[in-house]
Structure 1
């Protein structure tokens, strides 16, 4: 169902997986979708599919860490009302001894500074309009830790901390900020660990299955839409009960 007021949306890492599904979900509800990804072919494909379906979509090919390029794309699009900080890379089940500085820095550049760069790029217009919705895509591993890939888990925990802090900082400007921490989702990134690993992780939750990217996208449309207007500084957890955590 379309929202009564058409908005513009920037989704980072929208060339595949959750990001692509989110771009398509928002295209059915909002007038303009700005598709960001570092992979030019992916951006071209997703934008092409959206425009062929009659949606208003444009692309931004750059690293999510490039604030200048993001800001230029946002300005060219006429501003952004909603930002989904989705861009991310996997940790590949590395032990602490296997994580060198380059691997650590890459995770933090994309998951943490990427959130900063994209958010800073959209803030001028949001503040001027006194309206904005921002969601950082975190992970259940950012809530309870993980026995492998501690750099990934800690970077996702940082994205939750950013959402809570920005919710406080930006509320006076009419901007709501939340995080969404999904459990296992079937996507190109998670399939990089192998089909068997994906199946095994799905068995650790209570519903015994993985989520499809479209299920996560539906949550994002909800929390940034009219029915989500009383929610800020929160962590949404579509994770199949893996884990059940306290406040």
Structure 2
């Protein structure tokens, strides 16, 4: 089993879904957790769950795009060497004409600037340690687009491009950066579209099912373990075959 007992990790959007599963998996491996979420109740529940299982965690309740709050927390808690950029919001199932500037800004601020802000805050500690792992949680829609939520697809595509760019920029410091592009995962966010929508999307992949958050967290654990020591700038696609993509 991966031993992360000497590591501190931050997972953004860790109050539910994939973020929660990642936080619990990292804590089980021994990492100290910063459980970031804009929903304070959810963040505190996950932090309490980690501590009840013998781990160490602190809830960080803020907007992920709030650099000042992130910086203050890291100064107080200590440097972070594992970052999972997971915070996100659901896109409108709407055509371009129905997506206004407010919806667009919220999508980009949370997904893209949120990842920027969190990465900027942890980077000095990773550079000093000469070791770091950053994982951006993207989406299959960032690869192939989506006809009813173009701003969501664009935000997720940006996370993929950021992972590739940061991998090049940070490699000299021992910092590896990758992205994960899940297919349909059964979470509170996807269920906000309704059970029928999740079931319909599951039929688009070859396995005809949705994934669990824990299946995505397992790939995060591969990337932060020694197994992932020669992996950077890559996109991992646990999507059930939706889509199958080549080089």
Is the pair's TM-score, using the shorter chain for normalization, greater than 0.5? Answer: yes
For the residues of structure 2 that align with 1:192 and 1:57, how far apart are their CA atoms? 28
Give CA-to-partner distance per residue, 1:105-137, whole Å, 9 cap, x none.
100000100010000010111011111000110
1:123 aligns with 2:104: no
Tell me what 2:168 maps to: 168
> What is the alpha-carbon distance in structure 2 between the residues aligned to residue 149 and residue 49 of structure 1?
34
State the 1:44 CA deviation: 1.1
What CA distance in whole angstroms lies between the structure 2 residues aligned with 1:92 and 1:16?
Answer: 20
Q: Does 1:215 align with 2:223?
A: no
Deviation at 1:4, TM superposition (A): 6.5
Q: Are 1:233 and 2:233 an aligned pair?
A: yes
CA contact (8 A) 1:92 1:193 kept: no
Q: Once the two structures are superposed, what CA deviation does each residue of 1:72-124 show, in whole Å capped at 9, x if it has no partner?
A: 21222221110000000011211101000000010000010001000001011
> Matched residues in 2 for 1:113 and 1:148: separation?
22
The residue that corresponds to 1:54 in the other structure is 54
1:48-69 Cα shifts (integer Å, max 9, x gaps)? 1111111111111110001111
Q: How many Å separate the matches in 1 of 2:225 and 2:70?
A: 23
Q: Is 2:137 the partner of 1:142?
A: no
Tell me if structure 1 keeps the 8 A contact 2:50–2:57: yes
Whole-Å separation in 1 of the counterparts to 2:168 and 2:200: 38
1:97 aligned residue: 97
Distance 1:147 1:40 in 2: 33
1:2 match: secondary structure: coil
How does the TM-score come out when normalised to structure 1?
0.98
**Is 2:85 the partner of 1:77?**
no
SS at match of 2:116: helix
Separation in 1, partners of 2:191, 2:45: 20
Give, in whole Å, the separation in 1 of the partners of 2:135 and 2:4: 20
| Cα deviation digits, residues 197-238 of structure 1 (max 9, x gap) | 100100000000000000000110111111101000000000
Alignment partner, residue 189 of structure 2: 189
2: CA distance, partners of 1:23 / 1:76: 20
Distance (whole Å) between structure 1 residues aligned to residue 143 and residue 89 of structure 2: 18
**What runs of 5+ residues in structure 2 fail to find an aligned partner?**
none
Q: Is the 8 A contact 1:3 1:226 kept in 2?
A: no
User: Which residues of 2 match residues 33-44 of structure 1 at below 5 A?
Assistant: 33-44=33-44
Q: Give the alignment's Cα RMSD to 1 decimal.
A: 1.0
Normalising by structure 2, we get a TM-score of: 0.98
Count of aligned positions:
247
Structure 1 segments unaligned to the other structure (5+ residues)? none
